[in-house]
């Protein structure tokens, strides 16, 4: 659906703000595509690199084509990098050019004013593909991160199945939720609830990709509880909502498209997302795509203290 009123109402808005407004809107369209494909008996699974732990489905492929076609159509000077190694030829049938008018009402900080050559968009069209195929729908997100001069600046995390479950595929209210943030402005679409026990240290970590380094790190961080969930986007949302206190993954198993949106949203509300040694990730177009030194993310917890608890053997293991 093309909303000419929204597209025509905002040419004076800064490029990055319009790009975020377009990203939030197209994430909803991608979410609709994912829900539609989830109803098929055959979701078109292929194994990337022949690895059983890295599947790709028709939902991943079509959602990425929709997002990249739509954003490239509106912002041709911006670099857009998607997770899926597919031909991203423009597809008019998937073109979506609505802008989220609520986002356009905000004021972009001066340090995020930029032209297209300074901006890189990182797209994970379906974060949590293994969870998608296994029916863990609440773990599935669409991630669109916007970097300005290499820094995570804005992010969109859309949950296609929010309000749904395999047991309740037809909820009474429209499914899906879109959360977004701008560094220096704030993050929206969710609410934070403080834990009833201030001493709680609840750690979210991988559902399916555990290793010795992952286990050693979790043990060293001394959790009061562990939550095993899939998808980087889902774990960041759990942090933002206060469901967990730490997201720790001492593994090179995530990439820039997994973390750019979440890093921007956490930093927008005072949180942090770094590598396991406390170094912030950068998101220039030529950067290494793999997060080879793992992920450590917090909102209210003492990030530096947690970095100090990570064993040197883990930090060394991820630096090699």
Residues identified as active-site: 60, 129
Edge-to-edge strands, sheet with 79-82 = 79-82, 119-127, 141-148, 151-159, 177-182, 186-188
Cα–Cα distance, 270 to 184 (Å, whole number): 9
| Residue 186 to residue 265: CA distance in whole angstroms | 8
Strands in the chain per DSSP E: 46-47, 55-56, 79-82, 119-127, 141-148, 151-159, 177-182, 186-188, 202-205, 225-228, 246-249, 272-274, 295-298
Bridge partners of 2, per DSSP, are none
Query: 108 and 148 in contact (C-beta within 8 Å)?
Result: no
As a whole number of angstroms, the distance between CA 157 and CA 177 comes to 8
Beta bridge partners of 47: 55
Q: Return the SS3 of 109.
A: coil
Best CA proximity match to 127, nearest among 256, 215, 22: 256
Residues 6+ apart with CB under 8 A from 33: 59, 62, 63, 66, 94
User: Could you tell me if 220 and 213 are in contact, meaning their C-beta atoms sit under 8 angstroms apart?
Assistant: no
Distance (Å, whole) CA 74 – CA 61: 20
225 strand-pairing partners: 202
Is residue 179 within 8 A of residue 264, CB to CB? The reply is no
β-sheet bridge partners, residue 113: none
């Amino acid at each position: 659906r093309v909303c000419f009123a929204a597209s025509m109402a905002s040419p004076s808005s800064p490029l990055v703000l319009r790009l975020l407004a377009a990203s939030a809107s197209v994430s909803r369209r991608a979410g609709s595509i994912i829900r539609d494909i989830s109803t098929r008996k055959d979701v078109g699974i292929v194994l990337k690199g022949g690895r059983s732990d890295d599947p790709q489905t028709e939902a991943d492929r079509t959602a990425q084509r929709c997002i990249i076609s739509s954003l490239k159509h509106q912002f041709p000077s911006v670099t857009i990098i998607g997770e899926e190694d597919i031909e991203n030829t423009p597809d008019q049938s998937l073109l979506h050019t609505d802008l989220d008018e609520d986002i356009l009402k905000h004021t972009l900080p001066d340090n995020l004013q930029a032209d297209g050559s300074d901006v890189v968009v990182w797209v994970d069209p379906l974060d949590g593909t293994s969870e998608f195929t296994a029916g863990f729908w609440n773990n599935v997100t669409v991630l669109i991160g916007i970097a300005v001069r290499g820094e995570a600046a804005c992010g969109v995390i859309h949950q296609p199945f929010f309000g749904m479950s395999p047991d309740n595929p037809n909820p009474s209210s429209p499914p899906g939720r879109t959360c977004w943030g701008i560094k220096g402005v704030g993050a929206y679409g969710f609410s934070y609830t403080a834990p009833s026990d201030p001493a709680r240290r609840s750690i979210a970590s991988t559902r399916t990709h555990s290793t010795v380094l992952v286990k050693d790190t979790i043990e060293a961080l001394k959790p009061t509880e562990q939550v095993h969930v899939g998808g980087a986007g889902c774990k960041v949302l759990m942090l933002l909502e206060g469901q967990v206190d730490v997201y720790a993954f001492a593994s090179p198993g995530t990439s820039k498209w997994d973390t750019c949106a979440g890093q921007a949203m956490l930093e927008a509300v005072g949180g942090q997302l770094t590598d396991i040694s406390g170094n912030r990730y950068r998101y220039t177009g030529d950067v290494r795509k793999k997060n080879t030194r793992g992920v450590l993310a917090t909102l209210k917890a003492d990030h530096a203290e947690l970095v100090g608890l990570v064993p040197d053997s883990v930090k060394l293991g991820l630096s090699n």
